[in-house]
Amino acid sequence: MPRSGHQRLVGRDRELAVLRSAFEATAAGRGAFLVFHGQFGSGKSLLLHTAAEEAERRGMAVSSARVARLDRHSAMAPLLAVLRAGPRPVINPVQAESLAALADRPTHWGRLIDLLRRLIEQRAAHSPMVIVLDDLQWADELTVAALETLLPRLADAPALWLASYADFPVARPARGALDRLLTSHAEVVRLSPVDEAAAAELGARLLGCARPEDVRRLTSAAGGSPFLVDCLVQLLREEGRVRSEEDGTVRVVGRHLPAGLGRATAPVVSGLSQQTHDLLQVGAVLGRQFSLRQAAALTGRSTMELATAAQEAAAAGLLEDDGVAFRHRSPLVHLAVYGSLLGPVRRALHSEAARLCVSEGRPCPETLAHLILAGAEEDLEEGVARLKWLERNDESVPTREQEELARALLERLRLYEPLSAAPVTTAVQLFLTAGRTAEARHLLDAALAAAGWETEAEAEAFAELLEVLLQLSGARHALRHLRRARKGARPPVSHQAWLMVLEARCLLAYSAGDPGRAAALSWTAVSLARRAGDQASVVLGTAVLSLCARHTGDIAESLRLAGEAVAHGPVDTQRSLGWGSLWLSLTLCLAGRPLDAAEVLEAWRDGAGAGDRVWTAPRWHIAKSLQLWHSGRLEEAAREAHAGLEASARLADPAARTFLLGVLALVTTVRGDLETAAGHVAALSSTAHTALPGLTGTLYAFVTALRLDAAGDPGSAMRQLGTVWSALDLHLWFLTADPMILPHMVRIALRAGAGERAAEAVAVARRLARRNPGVTPLVGAALHAHGLYRGLAAPLHRAVRVFRTGSHPLALASALEDAAAVTQAQGDLVRATEMLQEAQRVYVASGAGLGAERVRRRLRSAQGRISEAAATDGVQALPGSPAPAARPAAQDPAHTSADWDSLTPSEIRVVRLVAEGLTNRETAQRLAVSAHTVDSHLRRAFAKLGVSRRVELARYVLAHGTSGQVPAHSPK
């Protein structure tokens, strides 16, 4: 046999033997009609092509034609077309037109057949001939009738007729005539799917010297269909995924099937009836295997109505009958049909399929997979309910099913979405919401273990799953998966930067004491991303570099890099699930720019989709609560932290929970609620073993020390900070997080009599300030710590001036308080009292009850001394100073007209609208200004009036309703 067509013809030795016998008989002068019968993709056309090549090699005249679907509407068009084909045709174009005219006249039928017989005999007299008709099932009735008449008359002519046909479509006008023709005059050779060995041989021939595992993956997807194997190789080549290695071998890049699978099944699917289309699509949603009863339940039709459709799909070679149910012939066919469904239709069918599974008592993984792929909120709620039911009724569910739930669910999801990360991510969310954290991690780990990253689609899914794993504090496991994947192959250039940034984040999270490796990897990632035009990875890589610089104490460089990242544009929240925006906002807060941080957070929230918000919620609340803390809005910070705790509970996110508990412990301590703070510290200590290395211990130590110091036990506070004191340089990332941390540590050390420790903290603060002279919070913190340690008024007064230029009210109030203490010790009671009054106003406006109460006591003491000095020396007391026993000014508006008169016209406009019950945003809209402007005016008004709540503000407005009238603002 010739080798060009035979190159792809495998597993057909029997059929080739039959062809050789037919050629020999034809050469001996005997005619025959040989028909190959098989399903779609069984290799019928390839076999005919190979036969035509062999006939030409033997010197026979060959005429070939493929019958098209439309030919069934043209009288004798297939027969006349094949007789005109080939280098030595039986009829010429003029004869073809004459014969076509006769075909339209039934009275000339006999004459037509006689003419055709004579013409074929004349041509065969010169040399034996082979006439090939492919897809004979589409022939019109006259062609079939003509063949039925001609073949017996040409039995002694050296003419071999070769044809192929399939049992598809089931119902057609010429079916009966074709059956009679085949029964009476044809030798029918039935083609079955090739066996596994033959399919592997075909795959190896098409790919070249390929790896056995690549060939096996290819042939198993095609289900033994030579046509589908051929299509798969073509599609893979078009995607550039068949690559030659230096050693001469050929490798298929990526483990997933190529896109465009619909092209492989289009030749047969396009000829299906609408009812068969519907059956196949519903069956694709039900899975690789389904029953007619299930399909009937989803389509609303009876099983009898679907029986014909099922028969047609089986005849077309798309479905197989396994004796119990129908099965898609191969994974390729299943995915091709499933991919043809529109998204909304697919999701609706999955939702219906889930209800069907519940009513039939199908295994839980099958039901959950349908609910996940349906994706609607009510479907996901039902999925959580099913998981909780499974936990409550574990005795009624087989133990094996419970143990393998995550694995079975992953396998089920991969039937439909073999590559996408979205279904796995949703499944993880479902498990977490149902409180099944271990299974969520197992599912994610199994998905990553089976994932590759050789193609762009694989790398995208791999990175998305890693992002989710990092959200669940899985830095160590993420590093393991990254290193495992790297051993196999290199990721595509388009995703190398993103994956490098992910590895740098893992290194930074898992080994925070060694940021050098993470920084080196991030620099490489940013360089790669710039060359590849990957703007999102440039931003994320720059954010990691900013964080690395912060870990080393180079805060100026950290701020520069953060500004560079912000300048590049908003962070892609889908890339990092909000991680980049979180750290950028925290860095901006450190720089004393909480309003800029608020803008980053708003852009983060606006840019996140509904699904992303679920994952980003805990991180967003962390960042927002810290931004509010730096802005001196403690009550709102506490609300955000509580909301974040609820979100982290839904996702079982221990790292976020730890951080938020630390924030709450800090905020409640500063607000003066020490009992609640103790509860948060206790909860924080109980989660210490589940969170990130370094972060938990440091947070726990500091907030506990703060609470103990507030309770009057600085010695215990010092012991809590022992780990931090022993390695201050390893905790620079924490010590620079807030300008009050180092002064607080100095204060605790001095109260505990640990002067050496206080000196160490001062040295670190001053070193950080010298290294970062342009970072206002660090400069202020160094002056504050130094003045506090030395008891010097000058550096403390300078710290106050520095903090007045920034945006951290609590740091300003703390510096004022300590400056007042030193100033008072030097005998300047009046200036000390003024500082304490300013500190109290800031504390009250921020809701810092602990500091406000402490300053209130000091004020009473200072003002008492001023009164005594005035009485002794005959000097008037400090103007505006209340008597020591008087209640705070904020409680009596009648005595605070001076404070009210200190408000600017803009502040009065804002105050009046807020007192009417408008929100900050509504006030901004009314006055045609930004929300940040309103927020700034309101905070200044709170500080000037010495109030902390809007109710107190409303009392001021009522008390001074006729004073200081300012006309309402009218936008231009």
**Residues recorded for the chain:** 972
Q: How far is CA 865 from CA 55, 664, 828, 835, in A?
A: 122, 38, 11, 16
pLDDT for the residue 879? 41
pLDDT for the residue 767? 92
Instruction: Give the 3-state secondary structure of residue 597.
Output: helix
The whole-angstrom separation of Cα 48 and Cα 22 is 13
pLDDT for the residue 166? 85
Residue 724 sits at the vertex; the CA angle it makes with 557 and 586, to the nearest 5 degrees, is 35
pLDDT for the residue 888? 39
Q: How far is CA 338 from CA 217, 288, 347, in A?
A: 20, 10, 11
pLDDT for the residue 694? 58
Q: How far is CA 471 from CA 53, 426, 439, 658, 661, in A?
A: 62, 14, 16, 13, 17
The whole-angstrom separation of Cα 35 and Cα 33 is 7
CA-nearest of 706, 622, 700 to 657 is 622
Structure tokens at 870: 């005035």
pLDDT tens by residue, 750-772: 999 999 999 999 999 999 999 88
Place of tokens 């890339």: 575
pLDDT tens by residue, 847-869: 998 888 888 888 887 766 666 65
pLDDT tens by residue, 657-692: 888 888 898 899 888 888 888 888 888 777 644 444
CA-nearest of 942, 910, 914, 940 to 927 is 910
Residue ranges in the chain whose pLDDT is less than 50? 1-5, 573, 688-693, 873-896, 962-972
pLDDT for the residue 348? 93
pLDDT tens by residue, 182-222: 899 999 999 888 888 888 888 888 888 777 888 888 888 88
Structure tokens at 315: 């005849």
The DSSP call for residue 301 is: -
The whole-angstrom separation of Cα 839 and Cα 835 is 6
Q: Where are the alpha helices (DSSP H) in 847-949?
A: 849-873, 897-901, 905-915, 920-927, 931-945
pLDDT for the residue 965? 44
- Do 751 and 710 meet the contact criterion of CB atoms below 8 Å apart? no
Structure tokens at 46: 């390839």
pLDDT tens by residue, 338-387: 988 999 999 999 999 999 998 888 888 899 999 999 988 888 888 888 88
Helix 93-103 with 109-126: angle, nearest 10 deg:
150
DSSP per position, 661-710: HHHHHHHHHHHT-HHHHHHHHHHHHHTGGGS-TTHHHHHHHHHHHHHHHH
Bridge partners (DSSP) of residue 34 are 162, 187
Residues of the chain with pLDDT > 70, as a percent, come to: 88
pLDDT for the residue 571? 52
Bridge partners (DSSP) of residue 37 are 165, 190
The whole-angstrom separation of Cα 551 and Cα 553 is 5
What single-letter amino acid sits at 234?
Q
The whole-angstrom separation of Cα 101 and Cα 145 is 17
pLDDT for the residue 912? 82
- Do 164 and 36 meet the contact criterion of CB atoms below 8 Å apart? yes
